[in-house]
Amino acid sequence: MDNTELLNKLGVDIDPELVSLALTHRSFAYENGQIPHNERLEFLGDSVLGQAVTVMLYKTHPNLDEGSLAKRRAAVVSTVALAEVARRIGLGSFVRLGRGEELTGGRDKDSILADTTEALIGASYLSAGADAASALVLRLIDPLLADPDRYGAAMDPKTSLQELVAHHRLSAPVYSVSASGPDHHRFFTATVSTEGVSASGTGSSKKSAEMAAALAAWHELSGRA
């Protein structure tokens, strides 16, 4: 697959082999002779992401206490937020997935999109260095920070949805969650419903799946007059 379009969006010169590795999900690796996959890069990228966001928040919000800074950081580095970043750059179409994940909508799963985003950040760190990787992080999350309403929703999507539902005088949101996969690798799908609105989200835990569903419903409701 030609990853030139993706690299142009990222704006970082990343080694082609590392790009390919960052885009390789473990499901693809297992179906193709146990080749290397992106989880080590994801581990590295998670650390780079956390440090870049922490430094940025510390410098730009000198009046916030530790607890407030921690909440903002958690919102920006959450699976829900990273999946939104990934969708904005069309990352799902570049991920290398196994057939099973492909058939179950893996290209749009929050967890896969978020993990791949972190892996690409890790790859940028190894290829271009710490400064370039931090700059990439800030470019990726900037649209989230530029929209206060969306940022607030990403920080606490269930509460934000509850407030929006009350504003529209709709019935309280009702959540349902289903799980799939083996015990050591459970995958959750949540659906939230209220009057005239139903949205779904996925995650590696019940909580993250419900948050993803709540944010999707918030986006749908917030578009109403």
pLDDT for 152: 66
Q: Is residue 104 part of a domain?
A: yes
pLDDT for 28: 93
pLDDT for 149: 64
pLDDT for 35: 93
The mean per-residue pLDDT over the stretch 37-43 comes to: 96
Q: Give 31's pLDDT tier (boundaries 50, 70, 90).
A: very high
Give me the active site residues, please: 46, 118
163 is in an annotated binding site: no
- The mean of the pLDDT values for the chain is 89
5 is in an annotated binding site: no
Question: What is the domain-level CATH number for residue 215?
Answer: 3.30.160.20
Q: Is residue 74 part of a domain?
A: yes
Q: Give 192's pLDDT tier (boundaries 50, 70, 90).
A: very high
Question: Are 122 and 192 in the same domain?
Answer: no
Question: Are 134 and 63 in the same domain?
Answer: yes
What whole-number distance in Å separates Cα of residue 162 and Cα of residue 203?
Answer: 20
Question: Are 137 and 161 in the same domain?
Answer: no
Question: Are 22 and 66 in the same domain?
Answer: yes
The mean per-residue pLDDT over the stretch 38-66 comes to: 95
Of 216, 222, 220, the C-alpha closest to 79 is: 216
In percent, how much of the chain has pLDDT > 70? 95
Beta bridge partners of 115: none
Question: What is the domain-level CATH number for residue 67?
Answer: 1.10.1520.10
pLDDT at 68 over 70: yes
66 is in an annotated binding site: no
pLDDT for 196: 83
Q: Give 37's pLDDT tier (boundaries 50, 70, 90).
A: very high
Per residue in 112-164, pLDDT (tens digit) is: 999 999 999 999 999 999 999 999 999 999 888 777 666 667 667 888 899 89
Domain extent for 135 = 3-146
Q: Is residue 63 part of a domain?
A: yes
Q: Is residue 152 part of a domain?
A: no
What does R_g of the chain's alpha carbons equal in angstroms? 18
Q: How far apart are the first and last CA of the chain?
A: 42
Q: What is the identity of the amino acid at 54?
A: T
Question: Are 16 and 124 in the same domain?
Answer: yes
The mean per-residue pLDDT over the stretch 12-17 comes to: 94
Burial group, residue 151, by CB count within 10 angstroms (0-12, 13-18, 19+): middle
Residue ending a domain, choose from 146, 168, 198: 146
